[in-house]
Amino acid sequence: MKSTIATLTVIILMLAACDRVGSEAWCEKQKKIPKGEWTLEEVSDFTKYCALGMDSEKWCKKMEKKDKGDWTANEAADYAANCVVGRSK
């Protein structure tokens, strides 16, 4: 049990050190990574937030107002990744 708590603590601390997906810092960091090393999710996020200029904070707020029963599976996953985990800063 103690090792599980320690592992979760380390994971949370690592996530807290990450730049929020879609932030300016995140976009700049992605530009420095060779595109062949990006995941499909990173390509999608870079396109949405950095290339097209979608504001991730506005999207998160919009999703918070939407009834969770109406969310698609992709919206739920994006919300968890970008609005819950990604809100480290």
Residue 13: the pLDDT is: 45
Across 62-86, average pLDDT: 86
Share of the chain above pLDDT 90, in %: 31
29-51 residue pLDDT tens: 999 999 999 999 899 889 888 88
Residue 88: the pLDDT is: 47
Residue 30 to residue 24: CA distance in whole angstroms:
10
Across 50-72, average pLDDT: 86
Question: What pLDDT band is residue 86 in, cutting at 50, 70 and 90?
Answer: low
- CA distance between the termini of the chain: 29
Tokens matching residue 84: 């819950």
Across 69-79, average pLDDT: 89
Tokens matching residue 35: 């595109």
> pTM score > 0.85 for this model?
no
